A and B are shown apart, each in its own frame.
Chain A
Amino acid sequence: MIPFDDILAGSGILFAVGTFGVLTRRNFILLLISVEIIMNTAILNFIAFSAYAPGPSILGVTGQAVAVVLVGLAATEVAVGLAIVLALNRVRGSVDVAKAMDLKL
């Protein structure tokens, strides 16, 4: 039997790692990857809560249903983020976010 708080603690540490990446990295691709780590932490939490939810099975899998939607949303976010990376690289010649401080292409 896996202790529930172990999973939550692990996902909390992963969330902190993702936050560390967002705070320290200046490469846009690494920023995207950090945000992906944070999104995956949220998905892990939804699945963990779903696995430990009492009640009938159709309600118990609500967390997994939300996780399916979140996976699609995160993949969409990566696609848009990489389009921004390409546009930024074409206009600025770099993917350093410090060179895009004025928030326009």
Chain B
Amino acid sequence: MTPETLLMAVLLGIAVVTALLALLAREVVHTIIWIGGFFVTLSAIYFVLYAAFLGVLQLAVYAGAVTILLLFAVMVIKKRIFVREAGAGVGPVPILLALALGAVLVALAAGVPGGTAYSAYDVTALSANLFTRNGAWLLLLGLVMLSALAGSIHLAREMRGAPSPPRGGVP
């Protein structure tokens, strides 16, 4: 086993463990801390896969912006942010379904032929690809972001004549 393979195995293991801990944590703030770790681990995986620009983007957008946005949402909707969630009775069916799905995906991955990772890709090739061949998708993303901005403002504004929000006891 080469050091690169070992590093990737360790990083993937950390990613799976942090994702599981994020979903199994009883306090939402702990969930957000674990998911921040998950995003940072994924960023490290992107660096190992020669996608340095994506790694930086992952750190800035996910580990930075999305994590803090989630934290702000928790701070806005809860009076006390360190509140334990009610014990979630997880039945056997979702666990079995998830295990079966994971087993099928791992079995499918085992049949994929291997190859050689190309380390020569640079951000110049990425920008050339992004702004020439796939420029239309970038424009479409801008349109989606604009409509999402309008939708978010519409959803988050206080509606006139709306019933007053129930206070206290927010789980």
Which residues on A are within 8 Å of B, measured CB to CB?
Answer: 1-21, 23-27, 29-30, 32-34, 36-37, 40, 43-44, 47-48, 50-54, 57-62, 64-69, 71-80, 82-87, 89-96
Contact = CB atoms under 8 A, between A and B. Distances in A.
Interface residues of B, number: 94
Contact of A15 (B102, B114, B133): B102
Across the A-B interface, the 8 shortest Cβ-Cβ residue pairs:
A12-B105, A16-B102, A93-B166, A10-B12, A8-B109, A20-B98, A23-B94, A83-B152
Interface of B: 2, 4-5, 8-9, 12, 15-16, 19-20, 22-23, 28, 31-32, 35, 38-39, 42, 45-46, 48-51, 53-54, 57-58, 61-62, 65-66, 69-70, 73-74, 76-77, 85, 88, 90, 94-95, 97-99, 101-102, 104-106, 108-118, 120-122, 125-126, 128-130, 133-134, 137-138, 141, 144-145, 148-149, 151-153, 155-156, 158, 162-163, 165-167, 169-171
